[in-house]
Structure 1
Amino acid sequence: MNQSTSDAHILVSMTYASRANPDVSAKDFNEILKQAQTNNAANGITGMLIFNRNYFLQTIEGPRAKINRLLYSLIADQRHHDLQLLGSRELKHREWAKWSMNYASPSEANAAVYLKYSTTVDFNPYLLSAEAAHNLMHDLGAQKQ
């Protein structure tokens, strides 16, 4: 059995934070989201993305080899920088199976959820532990279902 065949059976989750480049517009972000949804669906990747004008926080899950390849392309993407891996783990089952890429942004309606996991009122994923990031995305995802 070759490496990629065996990796196809190992399901992983990876969470990262990054800083949006200042020239990323709302139109650019909508294109990022559509592209992620299309590419992820084709590659068996699911996940959750949080974005405000300054930061991305994303969890992606899928076959280990596909997640590793996606990580390399994310690092090379010029629309964001300072990518920091917050956590990575093997999964028994997907948490975001319904979503090729679910999305949430900070709003008045969900401000209490952000405050629950953050030390500040402003959303800054670099200040979150891996567990807090996971729980934040889980709570926001539950609101959208």
Structure 2
Amino acid sequence: MYRYLYLSDVSPEFEPYQMGLLAQRARKKNEGLAITGLLLFDGLYFCQYLEGPKGDVLQLMRVIERDSRHRNLRRLGEGLSTRPRRLPNNGLFVGYSTDATFLPGVVATASGMNEAVERIWNALPQLDVEQSADWNKRE
């Protein structure tokens, strides 16, 4: 399994109300590619962790890199892993943070991808699940 973690600035043209549609489309696309992942959003940043077949993950990243909703995309880590999937059978989970310092802070102080991912997972209970719940509904 291949893993990829990135942080990007949200384009000024992107409005938070668009997040639900983005999540639904991304979930459908990820499921078709056998990719699972976690997309975090705070209004200023996107941070996404992806896992799946290497070719599919890299293909999806090429699409994301060209997506006008992202600015200044920074790869925080990538590589093969022997660990089991963190999000089996979920396609995509979306989380929302009301703290605009959370995402850059978590990844800036991590010593690598594994630590950044662990910090993100440990912080999931602090996310606004009320806001995220609608984004995580399946059609």
1:40-70 superposed Cα distances (whole Å, 9 cap, x missing partner): 0111000111101100010000000001101
Tell me the matched-pair count.
Answer: 122
Query: What is aligned with 2:134?
Result: none
For residues 125 and 33 of structure 2, the distance between their equivalents in structure 1, rounded to whole angstroms, comes to 24
Structure having the higher Rg: 1
Runs of 4+ aligned residues of structure 1 deviating over 2 Å after TM superposition are 123-133, 140-144
AA aligned to 1:127 is: A
1:24-39 → structure 2 map (5 Å cutoff) = 24-39=14-29
1:45-60 → structure 2 map (5 Å cutoff) = 45-60=35-50
1:88-119 superposed Cα distances (whole Å, 9 cap, x missing partner): 12122211114211121114xxx7xxxxxxxx
Would the aligned equivalents of 1:41 and 1:100 in 2 still touch at CA under 8 Å? yes
AA aligned to 1:102 is: F
3-state DSSP class of the match of 1:86? strand
1:1-145 → structure 2 map (5 Å cutoff) = 11-92=1-82, 93-107=84-98, 122-125=101-104, 127-129=108-110, 130-141=113-124
AA aligned to 2:24 is: K
For residues 98 and 128 of structure 1, the distance between their equivalents in structure 2, rounded to whole angstroms, comes to 30
Q: 1:20 to 1:83 in 2, by over 3 A?
A: same
Would the aligned equivalents of 1:47 and 1:101 in 2 still touch at CA under 8 Å? yes
For residues 138 and 99 of structure 1, the distance between their equivalents in structure 2, rounded to whole angstroms, comes to 15
3-state DSSP class of the match of 1:56? strand
Identity %: 23
Pairwise CA distance, 1:141: 4.5
Q: Which shows bigger deviation, 17-26 or 89-98?
A: 89-98
Where does the alignment leave 5 or more consecutive residues of structure 1 unmatched? Answer: 1-10, 112-120
Pairwise CA distance, 1:123: 2.2
Name the TM-score, length of structure 1 as normaliser. 0.74
